[in-house]
Structure 1
Amino acid sequence: MIEDEKSKFIEKAFFEAAPVGEIILDKFEYGLSSFPIIGEEASLTNQTDINKIFRLLDDELYITLGKLTTQKLIPSISLDGILTNHMSILGNTGSGKSTTIRKLLNEVANLRDNPEIDISKANFIIFDVHNEYSELPQDLTYVEKVSDISISIDSLILDDWLNLLQPSEATQKPVLLNALKLANHLETNSSDVWWIRAFCALELFKNQSTDAVPKRAKIIGLLEGIDSKEINDCLEHYNPQFGNFSGEYDKTFRDSIKDYIKEQTNYDYEEIHPYLISCLEETDCKAFSIKDLKLAMDLVLLLEESKGNNQIRTFCSTLMTRIDNLEATYSNNLFSENIDRQEKMKKMLESNHTFTLFDCSFMEDDVLLFFTSYILRNIFNEQYKQKQEKGRINKSYNFIFDEAHKYISEKNEDNIVDYSKMFQTIAKEGRKFGIFLTLSSQRPGELSKTVLSQCNNFILHRIRNNIDLDQMRKSIPYLNDSQLHRLSYLRKGVALIVGDSFALPMEINIDGEQYGEISKTFLPSELWKKEEMKTLSTRYPKVKQYDPEFVK
């Protein structure tokens, strides 16, 4: 009885141990060859074992990011592991993501002191959205503002145009496809624009039942400048008040257009529409200028209207607005026809610098999606071609996408078109061609689930949004609930590191204070100070500046 009473005060502890790896031949191997059974002896890990787990062999190439928060130990991270897997660096704004990336890149840069390493063979391509990575070692870095380089419009493929203009699937996308094909056709058959305009004019005259006066204005606009005396003579008898032809000129007008089309194409009027379709079927989706695309778009819309589809222009109004905005915003910079600017672009793609940095700070999200996909596709095609021809690749690429949720995003529910196709391709196939992605984002819940699911390494800073945490629970197999809960309480600069390339899930205090100045938060208590107080603060930092005696 007394023993039972005392048992109420006996301390008891319960813990659950999850085996994660084995030490074999003095080297830690993640994973298990055999699972321990209940009843087997267990022993605490000693310091020697810990050193084997967190420190690599001397002959392995490694970097460090910081100290473990639980003890004074700096884990070694295999360079071969961390740079041959896709990686995500996630965390709320101000949690230390950018500093972590700068620390990682500078650790790579420091490898140039290793006599066995040729650091020029490293290829990091960084898309800098907030101008936060410009202070990388200058002798290793090639920096260019995207506003100072240009892409030739004729190098764009269909996926590029879809990324740029993001048409709706049902209505706008078919119109855009036909417009791109027609623009390409007109580039080599420029005179065809006149018989197409004449065909549209006659179709409108015959089929469109809108008000006669506006119809007349549109038809005259189409035929203005056409090299046909017969057609121009008929137009003089096109009644401006009632919108019709006087006398027999109605038939003469129809016949003169049919004769003009026959003369230009050797096809009868009744055969011309199938002929036009056959021309477009054999043509690639390509435009040689935004101006050419706008002309082709207008012709395609006219062809649709001539068939009685009077609402098509309304349905495509947002698409036309995006094309107009593209011309107004980027025709003199990103899509300039300046040869020197285009050569700068080619030079960047062929750069042999360790870090190639694109300053994308002026770009809108949809254009950023296009630009990053365009660069990625060009590098991928070159790597693919090299492997096909030589059976191997000579160098690998690591892409770093700042604010990745803005453009590598999950498709919206109301839009079945997924514009992150290039990223998904690289996420699935890039490893075989030496291309690896690093996504930096403060909103993991908005990232493409397909791309995120292909990441094998994660550096996780503080995250508090429940939607983001839930997405990470679904996408990251290395996390348990307690670790996920812990993310909400991590201090600035502390990260939970998990993945295939890390010995164990570990919480690290990133050693990056010297790289954090560029992205620091500006405090009102500093910004609002009077100028004389700022001077005193600099000269005498330890003195209380509000002391009246000191101010005197």
Structure 2
Amino acid sequence: MQLTKRIGVIVGVDGPVASVGVYNMSNASEIIWFGDILTGPKIGALLTINQNDVKIIASVITEKVIDQQNTIRSTEFDNRYKKDSINRVIQLKTRGVIIDNTFQVTSSYVPMIGNEVTLTTKKELGEIYSVDKTTGSINIGQSILENQPVELNINTFFASHIGIFGNTGSGKSNTLQRLYFDLFHSKYKNRIFQKSQFFIIDFNGEYTGKQFDIGDKKKVFTLSTRSAGDKVFITKDYLFDADILSTLFSATAATQAPFLKKAVSLFNEKYDDMNFEFGRFVCGTLKKILTSGSSANQDSIQDWIQSCKKYVQDGSIYSEIDKIQFNSTYENYYIDTTNGKMYFNAGSEGAISDSDWIGLKGEEIEKALSNYWKSSNRTPIEKLAVFLDFQKVHRTAWGKINRDYLNPLFHRIDSVFTSLTKVIEVVDDVEDKYDPVNVFSLVHTNQEIKRVIPMMLSKMFYDFQKENTTGHGITKTKHLIIDEAHNILNNQETNFGDTWQDYRLRTFEEIIKEGRKFGFFLTISSQRPADISPTILSQVHNYVVHRLVNDRDLRMLENTMPTLDRSSFQMIPSLGKGEAVITGSAMQIPVFVKIPKIKDKEVRPASDDVVLTDLWGIDE
């Protein structure tokens, strides 16, 4: 039996905190004991309280000295704080117990006055930091104080929502990469990519190179709104949803959203109709306007013609309809012909004769519009854009909706569609479109796409996973990883309106609240946890926290990390580069760990600090 180094005795107990009278004043940070280097009784160190056959494990939270011989009222001060006069007292907070060589967190055993305190041995540390390796684990680094290997159980850590936080340069990107790099190269590597998919939202382009290093199982989507780039795959049924589009276009609830809902519903109906003649459909609006007289808005004719010219640029087919005028006396439309005026009588809806329609070159216009719609080069997004344009004319021509209310909406639609067509390909099914590991780089996109694409992809992947597992059990998992997550999970975002903010937060709050039961897991990494929705942060199961110094960030984490005690929390601002505290459901106690930097520069995230002296060189 190994002898233990006795250092003191319990002299006071106040709930989970116990006071220890130390036998001597040694302040060695490390003590050599029977060939082992043990951590001395310093702040944060683990000590063992011996209670019969039970070993209560506690950590040092404070230390001080007291005068045993004199008091403040004493007139003899020359003995105060001398060797024979003072004693060292430390306070411990209980972390758990070791029973039958197994560490567990329980409140069944508490320190009692008279219990002897010893340094925690290497064997005991091994029992404290041990994980169930029979189900698989990865090594994340070494504990800072004890240099003890720290293992993470794959089941309890990766089958959970994970939060990685830290200031710029603290090592959080390296940690994110290290966690999944080691997972992908674990003993389960041959089966991981058959049963799981990983989606990485990369705002800064840090993971587009050899990161994760898994060969042909990784696909990088480099999106760009500045030049030609890759496109992500979105299902038609998902994109052409009135609620999603209303959110994307920031449609107002009173007028714009109802218009979109009706127009998109009609579009979906017509889009799937193989016999749909788009030209005839929208020219029906023109005929109705011409035969409606004064009941139609006089601007509607020009609105319709301008919409048509926007998509069909053949000027020759407009030679006749450009001549259309309105006679205010008779309240009807007409055109001047070589044979005199040709009137379109009000009240005769749809009664334009075939010859008059041919004279207007209506058949040519119908054919040109239908050809535009049926063109193999026409994307679904372009079809939706032209459909909405003509629906706007139709819905405003008779005053059902004030056109001034819809104009701001269409300015936003034009802007969003211009960007979306550069980065989205609409497909019927995405089952075979994505690889086991997918990186979506948004570094070359505008702010509009940066806010839209992550939300759309996340919602789509989550909905598919939810649909595939409901009632069937979890046979496959999906893992969504968002780097710089404050860009999309910011609960204070107001630039795009309340509708957008509410929908975005509802989407991610549902994912983080319900995703685990469907096998959908979220990992978020951020340098500004205070900017992330508290609801989302509170649902994170495991935290890896690097150095943070901002008071708002620290207060936010203090309120959302129930497993981290005050003394451990106070150490966060003083953590060094690569150092972090890991706490949560996968850890029995919070562990301060040094996470080694990935050596291969090509495999590391593209976030290394610039070495200016290497960049500038030396002047000769």
Match of 2:215 among 119, 139, 142: 139
3-state DSSP of counterpart to 1:256:
coil
Q: Return closer, same or farther for 1:157/1:311 CA change in 2, 3 Å cut-off.
A: closer
Aligned residues: 482
2:385 & 2:551 partners in 1: Cα distance? Answer: 45
Shift of 1:479: 3.2
2:447 & 2:119 partners in 1: Cα distance? Answer: 49
Residue 324 of structure 1 is matched in structure 2 by: 414
Residue 298 of structure 1 is matched in structure 2 by: 389
Residue 44 of structure 2 is matched in structure 1 by: none
Contact 2:172–2:546 (CA under 8 A) maintained in structure 1: yes
Residue 17 of structure 2 is matched in structure 1 by: none
1:421 aligns with 2:503: no
1:128 aligns with 2:202: yes
Higher helix share: 1
1:236 & 1:118 partners in 2: Cα distance? Answer: 69
Shift of 1:386: 3.9
Residue 154 of structure 2 is matched in structure 1 by: 79
Contact 1:461–1:493 (CA under 8 A) maintained in structure 2: yes
Match of 2:185 among 88, 110, 135: 110
Contact 2:420–2:449 (CA under 8 A) maintained in structure 1: no
Match of 1:206 among 291, 295, 298: 295
1:204 & 1:402 partners in 2: Cα distance? Answer: 59
Residue 368 of structure 2 is matched in structure 1 by: none
2:294 & 2:380 partners in 1: Cα distance? Answer: 31
Please give the per-residue CA displacement for 1:180-216, whole angstroms capped at 9, x wherever unaligned. 12322443353432334444667794265xxx7x566
Pairing 1:351-370 to 2, within 5 Å after superposition: 351=435, 353=436, 355-370=437-452
Q: Return closer, same or farther for 1:106/1:3 CA change in 2, 3 Å cut-off.
A: closer
3-state DSSP of counterpart to 1:432:
helix
Unaligned runs of 5+ in 1: 226-231, 262-286, 534-550
Compare relative contact order (CA 8 Å, sep 6+) and give the higher one, 1 or 2.
1
Q: 1:144 is aligned with what amino acid?
A: V
1:13 & 1:320 partners in 2: Cα distance? Answer: 74
Contact 1:238–1:244 (CA under 8 A) maintained in structure 2: yes
Pairing 1:490-509 to 2, within 5 Å after superposition: 490-509=575-594
Contact 1:64–1:76 (CA under 8 A) maintained in structure 2: yes
Residue 69 of structure 1 is matched in structure 2 by: 144
Q: Return closer, same or farther for 1:128/1:241 CA change in 2, 3 Å cut-off.
A: farther
Shift of 1:474: 2.4
Q: Return closer, same or farther for 1:364/1:246 CA change in 2, 3 Å cut-off.
A: closer
Q: Return closer, same or farther for 1:150/1:384 CA change in 2, 3 Å cut-off.
A: closer
Contact 1:457–1:498 (CA under 8 A) maintained in structure 2: yes
Measured on the aligned residues, the alpha-carbon RMSD in Å equals 4.0
Residue 347 of structure 2 is matched in structure 1 by: 255
Q: Return closer, same or farther for 1:202/1:144 CA change in 2, 3 Å cut-off.
A: farther
Q: Return closer, same or farther for 1:217/1:143 CA change in 2, 3 Å cut-off.
A: closer
Q: Return closer, same or farther for 1:150/1:509 CA change in 2, 3 Å cut-off.
A: closer
Match of 1:193 among 263, 269, 282: 282
Shift of 1:258: 5.8
1:236 & 1:68 partners in 2: Cα distance? Answer: 82
Q: 2:531 is aligned with what amino acid?
A: E
Shift of 1:462: 1.8
Q: Which has the larger radius of gyration?
A: 2
Match of 2:261 among 177, 189, 210: 177
Match of 2:423 among 329, 334, 337: 334
1:151 aligns with 2:233: yes
2:248 & 2:308 partners in 1: Cα distance? Answer: 32
**Normalising by structure 1, what TM-score?**
0.74
3-state DSSP of counterpart to 1:92:
coil
Q: Return closer, same or farther for 1:293/1:119 CA change in 2, 3 Å cut-off.
A: closer
Larger mean CA deviation between 398-407 and 297-306 belongs to 297-306
Shift of 1:132: 2.0
Shift of 1:401: 1.1
**Normalising by structure 2, what TM-score?**
0.67
Q: 1:327 is aligned with what amino acid?
A: F
1:394 aligns with 2:475: yes
1:101 & 1:517 partners in 2: Cα distance? Answer: 9
1:170 & 1:297 partners in 2: Cα distance? Answer: 18
1:405 aligns with 2:486: yes
Match of 2:380 among 282, 286, 289: 289
Larger mean CA deviation between 136-145 and 430-439 belongs to 136-145
Larger mean CA deviation between 364-373 and 17-26 belongs to 364-373
Please give the per-residue CA displacement for 1:438-481, whole angstroms capped at 9, x wherever unaligned. 00112212223332221111111122233322322222222344
Residue 468 of structure 1 is matched in structure 2 by: 553
3-state DSSP of counterpart to 1:148:
coil
1:52 & 1:234 partners in 2: Cα distance? Answer: 87
Contact 1:91–1:441 (CA under 8 A) maintained in structure 2: yes
Match of 2:108 among 23, 26, 34: 34
Shift of 1:219: 6.7
3-state DSSP of counterpart to 2:498:
coil
1:201 & 1:245 partners in 2: Cα distance? Answer: 6
Larger mean CA deviation between 35-44 and 177-186 belongs to 35-44
Residue 535 of structure 2 is matched in structure 1 by: 450
Q: Return closer, same or farther for 1:253/1:241 CA change in 2, 3 Å cut-off.
A: closer
3-state DSSP of counterpart to 2:439:
strand
Shift of 1:507: 1.6
Q: Return closer, same or farther for 1:502/1:312 CA change in 2, 3 Å cut-off.
A: farther
Please give the per-residue CA displacement for 1:272-316, whole angstroms capped at 9, x wherever unaligned. xxxxxxxxxxxxxxx972233333433444355445478653x44
Higher strand share: 2
Pairing 1:163-174 to 2, within 5 Å after superposition: 164-174=248-258
Contact 1:145–1:359 (CA under 8 A) maintained in structure 2: yes
Contact 1:172–1:316 (CA under 8 A) maintained in structure 2: yes
Please give the per-residue CA displacement for 1:406-443, whole angstroms capped at 9, x wherever unaligned. 12332646615332333222212221221111001122
Q: 1:95 is aligned with what amino acid?
A: S
Shift of 1:74: 1.6
Residue 279 of structure 1 is matched in structure 2 by: none
Contact 1:401–1:438 (CA under 8 A) maintained in structure 2: yes
- Percent of aligned pairs with the same residue? 21
Contact 1:204–1:305 (CA under 8 A) maintained in structure 2: no
1:365 & 1:236 partners in 2: Cα distance? Answer: 43
Q: 1:167 is aligned with what amino acid?
A: A
Shift of 1:254: 1.5
Unaligned runs of 5+ in 2: 1-68, 223-228, 313-319, 336-340, 354-377
